[in-house]
Amino acid sequence: MNRRLLLVLLFSVSTAVLFLFLIVQFPGESGSFGLKLMGLRIKQGNNTFSALHRKLLHGTTMKEPNRLPGEKCTKADIVINQGATRPLPTGIPTYTVEIMNICVTGCDISGIHLNCGWFSSARLINPKTFRRLRYNDCLVNDGKPLINGGTVSFQYANTFLYPLFVSRVICS
């Protein structure tokens, strides 16, 4: 019985600590926890990068990116979120990356390339999921289509977070 009580207490305390961490990391626009989890801000040096996440429906519609007539998709239809996760046993920080296809016209998107600098990882990443081809050019999903609403995710380990931005896509 004492073991069960200890586990429940440990779970409750860890949940409270996680919640407080999230409140500190993602303060809402009016100082509350609120919907700030929908966006992710990353501070690196003097630069702050932000990656918008899918928004909950609150009586507003999703704004469609500017498209040329007849254009099925744009690179704005790919959203990248990344955040810190538990470090490796060696102490190297790790980050989880989610790459999502949020195309409002229902399109599948292939040939997703990201600006990624000299991306490298101390943790092995499946090259069919994500790989650096050359400086500032990384390929997602082995170039294959990411279905509408689909997500590709991976973790990497490095001493700092790499800013990742979509450079080009192919509408399938």
- pLDDT reading at 58 higher than 80: no
Nearest Cα residue to 163 out of 65, 77, 51:
51
Is position 139 within any domain? yes
CATH number at residue 119: 2.60.40
Domain count, the chain: 1
Is position 82 within any domain? yes
Strand, coil or helix: what is 149? coil
Q: Write down the pLDDT at residue 73.
A: 86
Q: Which residues pair with 50 in a beta bridge?
A: 41
pLDDT category at 158 given cuts 50, 70, 90 is very high
Q: Write down the pLDDT at residue 8.
A: 56
- Which helix (DSSP H) or strand (DSSP E) does residue 14 occupy? helix 2-25
Is position 10 within any domain? no
Is position 34 within any domain? no
C-alpha pair distances (Å), 73 with each of 10, 12, 34, 85 = 47, 45, 31, 31
Owning domain of residue 124: 75-171
pTM: 0.60
How confident is the model over 114-144, as pLDDT tens digits? 999 999 999 999 999 999 999 999 999 999 9
What distance in Å separates the CA atoms of residue 148 and residue 109, rounded to the nearest whole number?
Answer: 8
